[in-house]
Structure 1
C-alpha cells in the first residue's frame, strides 16, 4: 500500500514523443501546460463529431432547396466539399508548422509582415474566438430546437416556447461542461466512442430512410433546379443557397485548437484535419443523395418547419411514421449533444489561448488551469476558460427570448468569422510560398524567430501546394461574398441576412479597441519562459 502511495506521488515520466512535442511547443514560444491525452483515433473522433456533417446535412440541405432545388443542393455541396478540402489542406500545412492552440492567429504572427503583424494577429484572434463562442451557442440552439421538434412529432399538441428553448440550451451546455471538466483522458476516451457512434448512427438513419421512404426518380434529383427566392437568374439563386450547404462542413479545425493536448501534434493534427473532411464529406454527400431521393413532398416538408423546426423530421415521419421518426431523430440528437462537447472544448481552448497572450479582458483569470502534477489520474485543464464559455453561452442564449431573428444573426456569424480568418492565413501562406520565404523542414527550428520559416513534417509538394493554396483563397472569397446575401427578394426584416451587421460590428469593435487600447499592450503571441 505504501509503495502504491509513493508511486502516485511521483511525477509521471514523459515519453520521448511527449518530450519532442514539448520541445516543439517551446520553440513556438509556449510553455507546455496541458497534458497530451489525445492520439490520432481520439482526436479524429473529436473532430468528426464536432463537424457534425451528415447530421448537419439533414438540417441545412432542405432549406437549400428553395434556392437551387435538388440538383442545386447536390452540385452545390460537391463544390463546397472540394473547396473545404482545399482550405483544410492549406490549414493542415500550417498546423504542421505551428501546432498551437491559438491556430489561425498564431499562424498570422509567423506569416505576416512586421509592419502590420500585431494588428492582423489581434483581429484574427478576435474573429476566431468570437466564431467558436457563436458556434457553441448555435450547437446548443440546434440541440434544443431539435428536441422540441421531436416532441412535437410525438405529441402534436405540444407548443414550443422560447423560454423552454433557452432552458434546454442551458442543459445541453451544462452537460458539455461536466464532460469537459473531468480529465483529458476521459474526454479522449469519450471521443473515441463518439467516432463509433457517429459511423453507426449514419447507417441507423440512412438504411430505414432509403428502404422505407417513397423515392423520386434520378432525373428529378440530379437535374431539377429551383428558384423560389425570386432572384433574376437561376445562377444567382444557386449561389445564394451556396453558403448554407457549407455549414455542415464547418468546424474541422477544432483539432487545431486542441493541438497542445495531442501526441505528435505536427503530424496527427494535419492528418486528423484531412481524414475528418474526407470521411465526413463522404457521409454528408451520401445522406444528401438519400434525402433528395426521399423528399417527394417538398411543400409539406417546408411547411413542417413551422411546427417541428426542421423539415427532415417530416421526411423521417413520411418514411417510417411518427414513432420511427422519433427514434431516428433521437440518434441525430444524441450525436448533436456529443458534437456540443467537442465544440465546447475547442471554444474554451481558443478563449484560453487568446487570454494567455493577454488579448482579452480579465485574461489573468481566464488563463488559469487546474493542475496537480503529482496525481497521475488528473490532468491540467483550462477550467476558468471552460466556465467563462459556459457563462457566455448562457448569456447569449437569452437573445432567443426576445428575437429568434437576432439569435439567427448571431449564429450566422460563424461562417463569416471563421472563413475570414481562413482567408487571411491562406493569403499570407500563398505570399510566403510564392516569394520563396519558407525553407525546407528544419528539426527543432524556432518558428517564433520571424526572420525565417520552415515547413513542418506534413505539406503538399510543389507545384500542387501552390495550386491548392490559390484554390483555397478563391473558394474562401466566393463563400464569404455569398454568405451575406438574404435568402429571398424582396427582403423583409424577418428574411434579411443580418450576418453582415453582426460581423461588421465585431470587426469595427476589434479595430477600434486595438487602436484605442490594445496596440499599447498586445504584442502578439507572447514568448513564455
Structure 2
C-alpha cells in the first residue's frame, strides 16, 4: 500500500507532467523549507540594515514605522495574488508560464518573453544588490573595529566578488543540502529579530532613547522632495526587503506537496516579514537617538545605531550574525535565480540555452545556470564603481524588474479569456480586487522609483534605474524581433518535455498544456 509521502510525491510528479514537464529535480524541500527560502531571501533584519539609508532621509522615524506598515499591506496583497497562481500551476518558470497560459494567442509569446527576461534580470539584480549589501556590511564590521578604515568602492567590489563566488560554490551542492540549510536560515533570522526587539531597548542608554512623539510622529525630510512624495520614496526600504518571494515558485519542482506548500510559503514569508519588520523599525525608531544627520552620513546607519547602544564589542558580535544572515540571503537568492534561469533555458528562450539547460549528474542540480547567474550578477555589480547612484539603480531594479514580472501574469489572468482552474489556495471573490490593488500598487511604485533622490539633480546623481531597467527590456524586445534569429521566429512559449506515453492531460488541466480553451494555454 502506498504511503502518504509516496502519494504526495506521485501527485506532484503527475501535476508537473500535466503542465508539460518531466520531473528532473529531486523533491527535497519540505513545506517549512519552501517557506524558508522566501523568508531567508527576505532576511528581515539584514535587509533593513542594507536599506535603512533609504527610509531615514525620506521621513526619518515616521517613514520607518508608518511607511513600512502601509507598504507591507500592499506587498501582502501582491503575495496573495501570486500565491493563487502558484497553487494552480507550480513550476520553476511559473511567472512566464502563467503569462503564456492566460494571455491571448495574439500576444502571449511576446508577453511571456518579456516576463521571463524581467524575472531573470530582476532575480539577478536582487542577487547583486543582496551581495553588495553583504559586502558593505563586512566593510562596516571592519569600520566598527577600526573606525579610521572606510572601504572604497573598489574594495567593497572586491569583497562583493568574493562573496558571490562563494555562493556559486554553495549552490552547486545537492538539493538535499540546500533544502536543509533553509532550516538554519529560518532559525538565525528569527534569533536576529529577537535580539533587536528585546536586546536593543534594554541596552540603549537613556540619551539615545526617543519619546513616542519623536519615534512615531516626527517626519524629517533630508532630500528636498515634498513630504508626501518623500514618504513614497521611503517605500524602497520595505519593497526591497519584502521582495523576491517568488523564490518559492522557482523551487516548485523541488518541493513536496507543491500546490499547497508554494502558495503558503509565499504568503507566510511576506506576512511574517511585514510584521517582524514593522516591529524592528519601531524598536529602531525608539532607540536611534535624535541626531539623524550623523546616522545618514555614517558608513552604515544600523551599525552606528548598534554601536551607540551595544558598544564596540557587543556590536561586533551582533553585527557578525547580521553579516551571516545577509550572506544566507545571497545563497538563497542564487538558488532561486538559477532555477528561474534553468526553466527559461529549458524553453529555449536564453542565449546558450543548450548549455544552460543541463543537470549535473553528480549533484542533481543545474550547476551551469548557477555559475551563469553568478557571473552576470558580478558584471552587474560593476555598475557600483560608477558611484552611489548606479548602486542605487541596481537596488531599485531588483524591485522594479521583479514588479514588471509580477504584475503582468496577475493582470492577464483577468484581462484575457482563459480557463483558469484554481488550486488549493483560492482567494475566491477577493481574487479580482486583490489583483487590481496589487497591479496598481506595483505600477505606481515603479514610476516612483524612476525619480532621482533629490529634485535638483545632475548627470552624476540622477536616477539610473530607468536606464538599466529600460535597457534590459528594450534589448529583450529587440532580441525578440531580431531578423532571422529573433525569438519571434521560433519562441512559442513553454515547451513540453515529457514523453508522450508519460504525459497525462486531464480536462481540468488542458488550459495549461495545449491552449484549447480561450487564450489560456500553450500554442
> Structure 1 length normalisation: TM-score?
0.89
Once the two structures are superposed, what CA deviation does each residue of 1:335-391 show, in whole Å capped at 9, x if it has no partner? 01111110000111111111101001110000000136xxxxxx5211111121222
How far residue 401 of structure 1 moved from its aligned partner, in angstroms, is: 4.0
How far residue 152 of structure 1 moved from its aligned partner, in angstroms, is: 0.8
Asked whether 1:325 is paired with 2:292, we answer no
User: What does 1:265-304 correspond to in 2, within 5 Å?
Assistant: 265-296=258-289, 297-304=291-298
**Bigger mean CA offset, 290-299 vs 166-175:** 166-175
The aligned residue for residue 10 of structure 1 is: none
Q: 1:400 aligns with which of 364, 368, 384?
A: 384
The CA distance in 1 between the partners of 2:151 and 2:238, in whole Å, is: 27
Once the two structures are superposed, what CA deviation does each residue of 1:174-231 show, in whole Å capped at 9, x if it has no partner? 2222221221111111111211111112212332311122311111122222232222
Q: Is the contact between residue 44 and residue 189 of structure 2 (CA under 8 Å) also seen in structure 1?
A: no
The aligned residue for residue 51 of structure 1 is: 42
Q: Is the contact between residue 138 and residue 411 of structure 1 (CA under 8 Å) also seen in structure 2?
A: yes
Q: How many residues align?
A: 488
How far residue 274 of structure 1 moved from its aligned partner, in angstroms, is: 1.0
The CA distance in 1 between the partners of 2:14 and 2:374, in whole Å, is: 32
Q: Give the root-mean-square deviation of aligned CA atoms.
A: 1.8
The aligned residue for residue 424 of structure 2 is: 457
Secondary structure of the residue that 2:220 maps to in structure 1?
coil
Q: Is the contact between residue 44 and residue 193 of structure 2 (CA under 8 Å) also seen in structure 1?
A: no
The aligned residue for residue 64 of structure 1 is: 55
The CA distance in 1 between the partners of 2:134 and 2:189, in whole Å, is: 16
The CA distance in 2 between the partners of 1:405 and 1:55, in whole Å, is: 21
Q: 2:133 aligns with which of 142, 150, 157?
A: 142
The CA distance in 2 between the partners of 1:429 and 1:469, in whole Å, is: 9
Secondary structure of the residue that 1:455 maps to in structure 2?
coil
The CA distance in 2 between the partners of 1:303 and 1:393, in whole Å, is: 28
How far residue 70 of structure 1 moved from its aligned partner, in angstroms, is: 1.5
Pair 1:169–1:58, CA change in 2 (3 A): closer
Asked whether 1:489 is paired with 2:460, we answer no
The aligned residue for residue 368 of structure 2 is: 384
Q: 2:143 aligns with which of 116, 132, 152?
A: 152
Q: 2:220 aligns with which of 226, 233, 258?
A: 226
The aligned residue for residue 473 of structure 1 is: 439
Pair 1:245–1:45, CA change in 2 (3 A): closer
The CA distance in 1 between the partners of 2:158 and 2:297, in whole Å, is: 26
How far residue 481 of structure 1 moved from its aligned partner, in angstroms, is: 1.8
Q: 1:509 aligns with which of 469, 475, 486?
A: 475
How far residue 62 of structure 1 moved from its aligned partner, in angstroms, is: 4.4
Asked whether 1:215 is paired with 2:209, we answer yes
The CA distance in 2 between the partners of 1:158 and 1:68, in whole Å, is: 29
User: What does 1:332-343 correspond to in 2, within 5 Å?
Assistant: 332-343=322-333
Q: Is the contact between residue 236 and residue 396 of structure 2 (CA under 8 Å) also seen in structure 1?
A: no
How far residue 236 of structure 1 moved from its aligned partner, in angstroms, is: 2.1
Q: Is the contact between residue 56 and residue 296 of structure 2 (CA under 8 Å) also seen in structure 1?
A: no
Q: 1:27 aligns with which of 5, 18, 23?
A: 18
The aligned residue for residue 362 of structure 1 is: 352
Secondary structure of the residue that 1:495 maps to in structure 2?
coil
Q: 1:412 aligns with which of 382, 396, 414?
A: 396
**Bigger mean CA offset, 58-67 vs 117-126:** 58-67
The aligned residue for residue 491 of structure 2 is: 522
Q: Is the contact between residue 63 and residue 302 of structure 1 (CA under 8 Å) also seen in structure 2?
A: no
How far residue 240 of structure 1 moved from its aligned partner, in angstroms, is: 2.7
How far residue 521 of structure 1 moved from its aligned partner, in angstroms, is: 1.4
**Bigger mean CA offset, 344-353 vs 54-63:** 54-63
How far residue 465 of structure 1 moved from its aligned partner, in angstroms, is: 2.1
The CA distance in 1 between the partners of 2:453 and 2:379, in whole Å, is: 28
Q: Is the contact between residue 50 and residue 133 of structure 2 (CA under 8 Å) also seen in structure 1?
A: no
Asked whether 1:249 is paired with 2:274, we answer no
Pair 1:390–1:29, CA change in 2 (3 A): same
User: What does 1:48-197 correspond to in 2, within 5 Å?
Assistant: 48-197=39-188
